[in-house]
């Protein structure tokens, strides 16, 4: 889609710190993270509906969750979070995606959407390099 930022990331038209990728999905750092490592897992194929249960087949949805699991475990192992909250709200971009929010001990994680500031390119690059180095297995 012409105006879809996720499609532009997939096609390399918009810069993003990619941390994982396979044939069907891409994972990249969100630019407004509550905590370091907030990651977006998106389909490479554009969908006109961000609501996963309507926009993906059962097989695609299962594959997406398995890919998101690999990314989340890599984030936990690399950045020291003890789990990733998986959110599928679908309000901001009309493209199928899952958001992964790392949870760190001693940090308040009740509200992950509000009060987030934009990360600098250097901050994103540093976090992405750590995750990429570990590799999404």
CATH number at residue 9: 3.30.428.10
Cα separation of 136 and 121, whole Å?
Answer: 21
For residues 65 and 118, the answer to whether their CB atoms sit within 8 Å is: no
pLDDT at 111 over 80: no
pTM, two decimals, is 0.83
For 18, residues 6+ apart whose C-beta sits below 8 A from its C-beta are: 9, 26, 27, 28, 128, 132
pLDDT band at 20 (very low <50, low <70, confident <90, very high): very high
**Summary mean pLDDT of the chain:** 87
- Domain around 23: 5-129
Summarised one tens digit per residue, pLDDT across range 39-56 is 999 999 998 776 778 888
pLDDT at 25 exceeding the cut of 60: yes
- Among the residue ranges 28-32, 59-63, 83-87, 90-94, the one predicted with the least confidence is 90-94
Residue 135 lies in a domain: no
110 belongs to a structural domain: yes
- Count of domains in the chain? 1
Once rounded to an integer, what is the mean pLDDT over residues 57-78? 95
């Amino acid at each position: 889609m012409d105006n879809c930022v996720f499609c532009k990331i997939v096609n390399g038209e918009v810069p993003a710190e990619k941390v994982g990728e396979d044939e069907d999905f891409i994972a990249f750092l969100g630019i407004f993270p509550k905590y370091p490592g907030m990651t977006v897992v998106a389909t490479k194929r554009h969908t006109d509906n961000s609501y996963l249960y309507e926009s993906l087949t059962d097989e695609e949805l299962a594959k997406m969750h398995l890919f998101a699991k690999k990314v989340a475990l890599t984030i936990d192992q690399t950045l020291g979070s003890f789990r990733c909250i998986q959110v599928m709200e679908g309000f901001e971009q009309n493209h199928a995606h899952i958001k992964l929010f790392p949870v760190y001990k001693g940090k308040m994680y009740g509200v992950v959407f509000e009060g987030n500031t934009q990360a600098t390119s250097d901050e994103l690059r540093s976090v992405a390099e750590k995750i990429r180095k570990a590799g999404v297995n």
